[in-house]
């Protein structure tokens, strides 16, 4: 059994990426999954002057330890105006300054959703490119387009059969990768 840390890159209380994340991690079996609510931690805006004058924020150090203790991560990234959210990018900036390869040896399931038909594709592509620079192995990814049409929030489920089959394949592949 592997330890999986799940987190969403959004600081919104009503994040649809958090809703998707909770749905997905609820489907992971035979592994210990811990959800990390990033908004419980304080991350000041990264700046080299802040780092030099005050060092690394304590909460960033705590998150780094939680990541290090995990075998794998499930990350849901959100998109703002066609790009990655500054909230999550800020955290990855801090973490990479502490240790460039802070995701070394971590297998990652990366996903995204949005109200639009692209499903957060730009943020997903950005992090598929960037996370390996920090040592991550992005073994699977999933994008849920048009969240409001394809996800039933009352019953907490994906309603589109083809998208559900795609997610099932992604989860199966991710869990298989954890066995290797």
Q: How many CB atoms lie within 10 A of CB 170?
A: 19
The pTM of the full predicted model, rounded to 2 decimals, is 0.96
96: domain CATH number is 3.40.50.360
Report yes or no: 80 and 14 within 8 Å, Cβ to Cβ.
no
Mean pLDDT (whole number) for 62-74: 98
**pLDDT tier for residue 180 given thresholds of 50, 70 and 90:** confident
Tens digit of pLDDT for each residue in 144-157? 999 999 999 999 99
Q: What range does the domain containing 157 cover? A: 3-179
Tell me the torsion sign for CA atoms 15, 75, 119, 180.
Answer: negative
* Beta carbons within 10 angstroms of residue 71's beta carbon: 15
pLDDT of residue 56: 97
Query: Considering its fold, how many domains does the chain have in total?
Result: 1
Confidence band (pLDDT; 50, 70, 90) for 55?
very high
Tokens 């990350």 appear where?
A: 75
Per-residue pLDDT for 166 more than 80?
Answer: yes
Name the maximum alpha-carbon separation found in the chain. 53
- Phi, psi of 163, rounded to the nearest 5 degrees: -65, -40
pLDDT single digits (tens) 82-93: 899 999 999 999
Helix (H), strand (E), coil (C) string for the chain? CCEEEEEECCCCCCCHHHHHHHHHHCCCCCCEEEEECHHHCCCCCCCHHHHHHHCCCHHHHHHHHHHHHCCEEEEECCEECCEECHHHHHHHHHHHHHCCCCCCCCEEEEEEECCCCCCCHHHHHHHHHHHHHHCCEEEEEEEECCHHHHEECCCCEECCHHHHHHHHHHHHHHHHHHHC
pLDDT of residue 69: 98
Q: What is the mean pLDDT of residues 124-147?
A: 98
Average pLDDT for 46-65 = 97
């Amino acid at each position: 059994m592997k330890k999986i840390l799940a987190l969403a890159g959004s600081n919104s209380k009503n994040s649809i990426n958090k809703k998707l994340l909770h749905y997905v991690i609820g489907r992971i079996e035979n592994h210990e999954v811990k959800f990390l609510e990033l908004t419980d931690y304080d991350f000041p805006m990264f700046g080299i002057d802040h780092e030099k004058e005050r060092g690394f924020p304590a909460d960033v150090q705590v998150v780094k330890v939680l990541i290090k203790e995990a075998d794998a991560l499930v990350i849901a990234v959100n998109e703002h105006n066609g790009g990655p959210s500054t909230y999550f990018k800020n955290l990855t900036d801090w973490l990479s300054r502490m240790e460039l390869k802070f995701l070394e040896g971590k297998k990652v399931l990366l996903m995204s959703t949005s109200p639009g038909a692209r499903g957060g594709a730009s943020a997903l592509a950005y992090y598929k490119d960037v996370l390996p620079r920090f040592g991550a192995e992005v073994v699977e990814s999933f994008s849920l387009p048009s969240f409001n049409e394809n996800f039933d929030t009352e019953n907490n489920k994906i309603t589109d059969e083809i998208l559900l089959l795609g997610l099932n394949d992604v989860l199966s592949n991710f869990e298989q990768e954890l066995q290797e």
